[in-house]
Structure 1
């Protein structure tokens, strides 16, 4: 079982452990329009799947804004940010923050994405939310990059994720 930290306290992650080289599971999340959005699996584009606890935190908001900006001129991948926020809150965040270069979805119903990718926080003060993680998936559906941020309040390695996307081209 993987472990991370939240404000220094150990948090266990639950779900299927996905590693580089594994096939990325195809999972359904809920879009801001309440429609199903399929992420993972093989697709025509490289996928960047970003899981965050909640867009209503400074770190998650900063990360989402940063990837939105960094991917503005990179039309080589399909980027999805997954949180446990309700779709209405996600829609409001995207509208307020001008998020247009990525898709924001919710995993609040069954937590299928978080379980399938092994990033569901099993205990701790923010139990039931997703850990901060990044998965880059090539067109064949294989995971080519993975980062689970050790301290959930820290930002990920943006440059490594962007380099992995460019390499997967």
Structure 2
């Protein structure tokens, strides 16, 4: 279990992020068209997993916009923005913002990705959602960087994540 804060108040997660150097746990997430995406679908690509509680909060929206802007210059890299939001909300947001360089994936309906990656918030007002984190996975499926953002309301360290690619 890890401890982060939300507005300065401690909240806990159900586990720890995958360790750097380990194989990334397999996942199955929901795309905007309600089909499924798995880690294997992205085999051979470098991945930035931008994970957050909800697309409808300022910091979460900013992280998606920022990674979208930076992703356009990255070779063989995909940015996956992952939350428990319904795929329809993710699609609405990206359409309204004109975001085309990120892939939004939903951990709806079970939240299993959050559980498997140690990201599920277990207490407080965001209980059941994901905490804010960034995980970088290389083209062989190995975790090369992780960041559990200590204060959920803060943005991740974009430069450190991109440097890990």
Q: Which runs of 5+ in 2 are unaligned?
A: none
- Aligned: 1:37 with 2:46: no
Query: Aligned residues, how many?
Result: 165
Q: Following TM superposition, by how much is the alpha carbon of 1:15 offset from its aligned partner in structure 2, in angstroms?
A: 4.1
1:143 aligned partner: 143
Q: CA RMSD in A?
A: 1.5
Q: Which runs of 5+ in 1 are unaligned?
A: none
How many Å separate the matches in 2 of 1:104 and 1:60? 12
Q: Following TM superposition, by how much is the alpha carbon of 1:108 offset from its aligned partner in structure 2, in angstroms?
A: 2.1
1:50 aligned partner: 50
Q: Following TM superposition, by how much is the alpha carbon of 1:76 offset from its aligned partner in structure 2, in angstroms?
A: 2.3
2:3 aligned partner: 3
Greater mean deviation of Cα atoms: 68-77 or 155-164: 68-77
- Aligned: 1:152 with 2:162: no
Q: Deviations over 1:1-56 (max 9, x none)?
A: 11111111111101464111111011001011101011379711111111110000
TM-score, structure 2 normalization: 0.95
How many Å separate the matches in 2 of 1:41 and 1:163? 24
How many Å separate the matches in 1 of 2:102 and 2:39? 13
